[in-house]
Amino acid sequence: MKKRWIIKIGSALLTNEGRGLDKASIKNWVAQMAALDIELVLVSSGAVAEGMTRLKWTERPTALYQLQAAAAIGQMGMIQTYESFFQEHAMQTAQILLTHEDLVNRQRYLNARSTLRTLLNLNVVPVVNENDTVTTEEIRFGDNDTLAGLVANLIEADMMVILTDQEGLYECEPRIDPTARLIQNGYAGDPNLESLAGDTGGKLGRGGMLTKLKAATLAARSGTITQIASGKVSNVLLRIAAGEKIGTVLLPAQAPIAARKQWLASHLKMRGRLYLDDGAVKVLRHSGKSLLPIGVTRSEGDFERGEMVLCLSPDGQEVARGLVNYTAEETEKILGLSSDKIVDVLNYVDEPELIHRDNLVLV
């Protein structure tokens, strides 16, 4: 069975630091991808940056409507470039534009997964990007590193390769301290590694090294290994496939989560908060049971039935997240009650649980 990879390429590499698409480098990366005997999904930045180049803008705009206009213009050139280079290797491509809503709505999540898997079965290379032209600021992924991590969950990738303009994660900033040591191996989600990373990107992109580490944490939920490496290294993809030590490798710290729980864990938009007592925290963490109203002490937010809420310990630490069975107003009325009292308060009962264990994932 073929390995399944996500390859993410950042704006700084693709656009040659703002001087238009670096077609020579893109052609080289495509040739390497074509030589890999794998199933491949390409997550590509560069649409906004290419649009800026075509519009002769030198600074990334801050207004959302300007970013959306740049993305719409740049998407044309970026996809045309990929298509032409992949066709030189007799490979078909498909453009996939995703929004946050596509991955938080259960039905749309499954549709996106089915589409991607169908394309892979047809030996087509999906080229994925955020649909910048329609997203609003409050529901954006934030960067294509995050998007790549979530797509890794969608297709249950074996490997996510993030190509950047840096060699990998260093113990300190190598552009300031030339003696900085490259960290070759680590575990996704390690807070010690995140403390070493910067949290800003370049002028063309939104993601810095910290976003790449967080993307690795997302990808690890489906058992995906992440490798952060410089796209400027000769034959970097072929050498990674051959097992050569390049850049930083981040391994999953735990076993993959089941498919439905991957989707739950990937939610970025929470609609409310439930504060649990110590007993409920213990039951969730150690017994794998559902969350009952009797274990909840306080509710925050204006959520509807079926929306995602956070479950917090008494001291405010996140314990789990899940799809709630009752609205915020109904939840307020049944807090602290045993399940057999729900009907007495609401005059009906949908479910005895506030969150069923099948709709809940520990974090």
Q: Are residues 146 and 290 located together in one domain of the fold?
A: no
CA–CA dist 208, 219 (Å, integer): 17
Q: Are residues 117 and 69 located together in one domain of the fold?
A: yes
3-state class (DSSP) for residue 319: strand
Per-residue pLDDT tens for 326-347? Answer: 999 999 999 999 999 999 999 9
Tell me how far CA of residue 300 lies from CA of 257, 297, 332, in angstroms.
Answer: 28, 11, 9
Longest CA pairwise span in the chain (Å):
70
Q: Are residues 181 and 37 located together in one domain of the fold?
A: yes
CA–CA dist 263, 320 (Å, integer): 13
Q: Which of 238, 262, 286 is the last residue of a domain?
A: 262
- Helix axis angle, 144-155 to 106-121, nearest 10°: 80
CA–CA dist 66, 133 (Å, integer): 10
Q: Are residues 240 and 328 located together in one domain of the fold?
A: no
pLDDT of residue 138: 40
Q: Which of 262, 297, 318 is the last residue of a domain?
A: 262
Task: Give 225-245 as a 3 state SS string.
Answer: EEEEEECCCCCHHHHHHCCCC
Cβ pair 99, 147 in contact under 8 A: no
Mean pLDDT on 112-128: 95
What is the CATH number for 311? 2.30.130.10
Q: Are residues 320 and 219 located together in one domain of the fold?
A: no
Q: Are residues 169 and 193 located together in one domain of the fold?
A: yes
Q: Which residues lie across from 3 on neighbouring strands? A: 38
Place of tokens 């044309």: 76
Q: Which of 205, 277, 262 is nearest to 17 (CA)?
A: 205
pLDDT of residue 279: 96
- Helix axis angle, 64-87 to 47-55, nearest 10°: 110
Q: Are residues 235 and 329 located together in one domain of the fold?
A: no
Q: Are residues 297 and 179 located together in one domain of the fold?
A: no
Q: Are residues 193 and 165 located together in one domain of the fold?
A: yes
- What is the total count of domains within the chain? 2
Q: Are residues 98 and 211 located together in one domain of the fold?
A: yes
Q: Are residues 167 and 102 located together in one domain of the fold?
A: yes
Per-residue pLDDT tens for 163-222? Answer: 998 899 988 777 777 788 999 999 998 988 888 875 544 444 444 788 899 999 999 988
* Residues 6 or more apart whose Cβ sits within 8 Å of residue 117: 155
Per-residue pLDDT tens for 38-57? Answer: 999 999 988 888 888 899 89
Q: Which of 262, 297, 315 is the last residue of a domain?
A: 262
Q: Write out the residue range of the structural domain in which residue 108 sits.
A: 3-262
How many CA atoms are closer than 13 Å to the CA of 229, on its beta-carbon side? 24
How many CA atoms are closer than 13 Å to the CA of 245, on its beta-carbon side? 5
pLDDT level of residue 142 (50, 70, 90 thresholds): low
Q: Are residues 286 and 252 located together in one domain of the fold?
A: no
Per-residue pLDDT tens for 6-20? Answer: 999 988 888 776 667
How many CA atoms are closer than 13 Å to the CA of 301, on its beta-carbon side? 20
Mean pLDDT on 315-323: 93
Mean pLDDT on 111-121: 93
Per-residue pLDDT tens for 68-91? Answer: 898 899 899 999 999 999 999 999
What is the CATH number for 126? 3.40.1160.10
* Residues 6 or more apart whose Cβ sits within 8 Å of residue 303: 271, 272, 309, 324, 327, 328, 331
